[in-house]
Amino acid sequence: MTSLSPPDQKVWWKKPIDRAELIWIFIVVIWGIILTLMMPLWHIFGEQNLSTETYRTTPQRYMEKTQAFVDQYTVRTEGDRQFPVVAPPAGEDIYMVARLWDWWPILELKQGQSYRLHLNSIDWNHGFSLQPANLNIQVLPGYEHVLTITPNATGEYSVICNEYCGINHHNMVGKIYVVE
Amino acid sequence: MTNNAIFRTCPDTGLRFHGPAETLIKLNAVAAVVFLLVGGIMGIGVGLTRWPEVHLLGPQDFYTTLTSHGINVLIFWIIFFEIAALYFVSSVVLGCRLATPKLGYLAFLLMVIGALVNNYAVWSLSSAVMMTSYAPMPAHWAFYLGLILFAVGALIGCFIFLGTLVIAKKEKTYEGSIPLVTFGGLTACIIAIFTIASGAIILVPTLLWQLGYVSNIDAGVYRLIWWAFGHSSQQINVATHVTVWYMVGALVFGAKPLSEKVSRFAFVLYIAVLQIASAHHLLVDPGVGTEWKIFNTSYAMYLAVMASMVHGLTVPGSMEAAQRARGYTNGLFEWLRKAPWGNPVFSSTMISIVGFGFLGGISGVMMGAEQLNLIVHNTLYVPGHFHATVVLGTTLAFMGITYWLVPVLFRRELILTSWCKWQPYIFGLGMTGVSVFMMGAGTLGLPRRHWDAAFTSSSFPYEFPSSAMALMSLNGLSVVLAAIGGGMFCLIIVGTLLFGKKVGQEEKFPRVMVATPPTEAQYVTLHRSGNAISGTLLLAGVFLIAFVVYYFINWKYLAETWGMS
Ligand SMILES: [Cu+2]
């Protein structure tokens, strides 16, 4: 009898399980419980937990809010397309728009301070990928996602798009400066 | 109505083949290999473009090729093969006629038409939207229609499988419970029905949206339901390739399950945890809650992981037990050393088990943890992971069993036998490189589905560490190696179908096609020694240590990045 033939015992479910197999199953179950517990534990003791604060929005509404934010805190512009560099005070609500094919505007944040970052796409799916910090968040149209971020080192960060969004997807790069 | 005239008994295996079942298995398996070839060639284009020094294709061609690669191998190759496998483990293994063969031909036709329509849309109707086709990015309606036709065909195939089980039961072609491999096929079939239903729920409205009958598709809802389809379809693959592993154990070693109860229960777990296992694709999405994510990844994923870890022990364990019963009892690993490493049926399966477990399994659990997903979501880590599960795991297992199926079904001797010996190793090594180097580059942040990680035409270019680019060059080399292995496979199989030496219907192959199982007395002696699977247990221990270490290293990585709450 093999795995290709019916079990030789008619009541195969009554056959006791081998010890070696039982030990392995026991280990596997324990490991599964540890895997499960790691997630709530990180919510209690870890520093990196993604907020779930989300609001329904529309492209118009979100652009208006972002425009107001840019108008209020822009300190200079950058690049041939005059991207505003926005330096909001610590603790402020800050906005970034994902669109074909920009992250807009450029942000200038302070190290060790927390900000409420709003993310939303005004067209298709995009992927907020902060490099080299390597934080990756899905950005959807219609959903305004608000998360608190705390930059832990100064420097020039790039926001690349890592959700395919059409023919210029690979050119979609934004910036975040973190200063003292 | 049984008609003996359309049955033949295979002189090598003793299996009874129902004529129409055999034809349908052949048709589906050949179609599978054709789509593997097409999708594989696309894969070369993708790999060579990601190779920084080569950067073969332009952006438009790259995104089209990548879309085509994903759909042709991940959907068409694998599902055609799975339909062939379902017919085999029902009709052939149970020695029963196939239910409604006419519908089987219809199913096959629908699948072929669907696959062609979808490919046409990708290439000629500018639908380079990737396999996931995330709305509201639009594809041409023919793109969705092709997938729906294909899915309807596959669904018919599933019901033919179920019908065949019913007939076998009624006509008493077997006694007692169905064999383990048929049981594995049954779980795959049930998962497939759930999968296709989810696919319909999301693709039909999306089709209507492109035809103008639905005004808007919500981006978040699309992802939620699409992944109920996309994730469960991977669960079909796992159930099927584990079934193939058990089958190879039986064919090569005459192995039987260590415990029917344990192996079958582990299969049932795959079904039990299906519902919203898609959660681990949405771990960094807006609009879904923390508790929902944790609950659905833990219960829905870890139970499946546990099931795979159990199969990971019991498949090699049953091989070890059979080998030891036969007398290979020295030390921990004589049973493994004396295994037929030159037989591609066995070597493919072994590489599949190890690759799926060590590379695919461990990485999958890591990125399926809610917070850890933050450091890998949508990076090249993701394709690195699923090339280990779907290519090393599923594709290599299917290749292995094809080396057995083709001679048995087509009554032809394999050509290029020395190539057959090497092919699993070349393909396995190449694909291991592809997985490992993409995972490495992904850990350094390189994005997936991206034409130019050097950002040469971007207004604000970003420069990745040179180590990441070096990994992509190594990835390119591995793609070439894997392509050689894949090409060898297609050449061997197609060459055998056309030119393989014919073996008559009554004649036997000059080698053993199905190993004689050890006797019951041999098993009894073995179990008295209390040492039936000690080698496998040691390997399982090594696996567990690797798993634990790697898992916690990634939590350390996460702890080093920006704080967020
Ligand atoms: Cu984008």
Domains and CATH numbers, chain A: 1-49 (no CATH), 53-179 (2.60.40.420)
Report which of B392, B395, B400, B428 is spatially closest to residue B493, judged by C-alpha positions.
B400
pTM of the model: 0.95
DSSP string, B419-453: HHHHHHHHHHHHHHHHHHHHHHHHHTTPBSS-S-T
For residues A70 and B455, what is the distance between their CA atoms, to the nearest angstrom? 26
Report which of B95, B247, B240 is spatially closest to residue B175, judged by C-alpha positions.
B95
For residues B319 and A15, what is the distance between their CA atoms, to the nearest angstrom? 20
Contacts of B542 in chain A (CB under 8 A): none
Q: Give rounded-to-5 percent helix, strand, coil for chain A.
A: 25, 40, 35
Enumerate the H helices of B51-140 as residue ranges. 59-69, 78-87, 101-124
For residues A48 and A37, what is the distance between their CA atoms, to the nearest angstrom? 16
Under 8 Å between Cβ of A86 and A73: yes
Contacts of A132 in chain B (CB under 8 A): 445, 465
Could you tell me which residues come within 8 angstroms of residue B52 by beta carbon, excluding any fewer than 6 positions away?
B453, B454, B469, B472, B473
Could you tell me which residues come within 8 angstroms of residue A60 by beta carbon, excluding any fewer than 6 positions away?
none
For residues B515 and B339, what is the distance between their CA atoms, to the nearest angstrom? 12
Going by DSSP bridges, is the β-strand pair A126-131/A135-139 parallel, antiparallel, or unpaired? Answer: antiparallel
Report which of B528, B554, B176 is spatially closest to residue B368, judged by C-alpha positions.
B554
A109 CB within 8 Å of a chain B CB: no
Q: Give the Å distance between the CA of A103 and the centre of ligand 1.
A: 8
Contacts of A139 in chain B (CB under 8 A): 286
Q: What are the C-alpha distances in Å from B331 to residues B212, B252, B323, B327, B538?
A: 69, 21, 13, 12, 12
The verdict on residue B465 lying in a domain is yes
Secondary structure letter of residue A48 according to DSSP: B
Q: How many domains in chain B?
A: 1
Contacts of A23 in chain B (CB under 8 A): 537
Q: Which residue of A has its CA nearest to B452?
A: A170
Could you tell me which residues come within 8 angstroms of residue B137 by beta carbon, excluding any fewer than 6 positions away?
A124, A125, A165, A166, B129
The verdict on residue B483 lying in a domain is yes
Contacts of B450 in chain A (CB under 8 A): 162, 164, 169-170
User: The tokens 């927390």 sit on which residue?
Assistant: A114
Under 8 Å between Cβ of B256 and B250: yes
- Which residues crowd ion ligand 1, with CB under 5 Å? A 126, 161, 165, 172
Report which of B168, B190, B306 is spatially closest to residue B239, judged by C-alpha positions.
B190
Under 8 Å between Cβ of B181 and B246: yes
Distance from the Cα of B520 to chain A's closest Cα (Å) equals: 9
Residue B486, domain CATH: 1.20.210.10
Select from A127, A142, A170 the Cβ nearest to the Cβ of B378: A127
Q: Residue B376: phi, psi to the nearest 5?
A: -135, -10
pLDDT of residue B64: 97
Contacts of B461 in chain A (CB under 8 A): 173
The verdict on residue B175 lying in a domain is no
Q: Which range of residues forms the domain containing residue B402? A: 343-507
Q: Is B413 exposed, middle or buried (0-12, 13-18, 19+ CB in 10 A)?
A: middle
A32 CB within 8 Å of a chain B CB: yes
pLDDT of residue B255: 95
Select from B370, B445, B517 the Cβ nearest to the Cβ of A1: B517
Going by DSSP bridges, is the β-strand pair B16-18/A135-139 parallel, antiparallel, or unpaired? Answer: unpaired
Distance from the Cα of A62 to chain B's closest Cα (Å) equals: 15
Could you tell me which residues come within 8 angstroms of residue B102 by beta carbon, excluding any fewer than 6 positions away?
none
The verdict on residue B381 lying in a domain is yes
Which of B462, B516, B545, B552 to substitute to test the interface with A, most A CBs within 10 Å? B462
User: How would you write B452-470 as a 3-class SS string?
Assistant: CCCCCCCCCCCCCCHHHHH
For residues B319 and B334, what is the distance between their CA atoms, to the nearest angstrom? 12
Distance from the Cα of B193 to chain A's closest Cα (Å) equals: 24
Taking residue B376's Cβ as centre, other Cβ atoms within 10 Å add up to: 27
Taking residue B67's Cβ as centre, other Cβ atoms within 10 Å add up to: 27
Q: Is there a contact between A164 and B309 if contact means CB atoms under 8 Å apart?
A: no
Q: Give the Å distance between the CA of B2 and the centre of ligand 1.
A: 59
Tokens of B45: 């284009």
Cβ-Cβ contacts under 8 Å between A and B: the total is 290
Report which of B41, B489, B519, B158 is spatially closest to residue B325, judged by C-alpha positions.
B519
Under 8 Å between Cβ of B328 and B255: no
The ipTM estimated for the assembled molecules is 0.95
Contacts of A110 in chain B (CB under 8 A): none
Q: Please calculate the CA angle B45-B28-B148 and round it to the nearest 5 degrees.
A: 75
Q: Give the Å distance between the CA of A60 and the centre of ligand 1.
A: 19
Q: Is the dihedral of CA B174, B177, B179, B185 positive or negative?
A: positive
Under 8 Å between Cβ of B213 and A44: no
Q: Is A16 exposed, middle or buried (0-12, 13-18, 19+ CB in 10 A)?
A: exposed
Mean pLDDT by 10 residues, chain B (565 residues): 71 92 95 95 96 95 96 94 95 95 97 97 94 94 96 96 96 93 95 89 94 94 90 90 96 94 93 74 92 84 88 96 94 95 97 96 94 96 97 96 94 95 98 97 96 91 94 97 96 95 89 92 88 92 96 96 92
Q: Please calculate the CA angle B79-B84-B90 and round it to the nearest 5 degrees.
A: 120
Q: Is there a contact between B306 and A4 if contact means CB atoms under 8 Å apart?
A: no
Name B401's bridge partners: none
Amino acid at B199: G
Tokens of B342: 């030159």
Q: Residue B508: phi, psi to the nearest 5?
A: -115, 150
For residues B464 and B441, what is the distance between their CA atoms, to the nearest angstrom? 10
A2 CB within 8 Å of a chain B CB: yes
Under 8 Å between Cβ of B307 and B272: no
The verdict on residue B541 lying in a domain is no
Q: Kindly compute the dihedral angle of the four CA atoms of residues B204, B206, B207, B209, in this order, to the nearest 10 degrees.
A: 130
Tokens of A81: 């397309």
User: The tokens 């492209």 sit on which residue?
Assistant: A59
The verdict on residue B200 lying in a domain is no
pLDDT of residue B1: 44
Q: Give the Å distance between the CA of A123 and the centre of ligand 1.
A: 9
For residues B59 and B47, what is the distance between their CA atoms, to the nearest angstrom? 13
Could you tell me which residues come within 8 angstroms of residue B486 by beta carbon, excluding any fewer than 6 positions away?
B36, B37, B40, B43, B427
Q: Give the Å distance between the CA of A125 and the centre of ligand 1.
A: 7
Q: Is there a contact between A167 and B59 if contact means CB atoms under 8 Å apart?
A: yes
Select from B179, B298, B448 the Cβ nearest to the Cβ of A36: B298
Report which of B534, B295, B504 is spatially closest to residue B413, judged by C-alpha positions.
B504
The verdict on residue B380 lying in a domain is yes
Contacts of B223 in chain A (CB under 8 A): 125, 138, 140
Report which of B26, B93, B40 is spatially closest to residue B68, judged by C-alpha positions.
B40
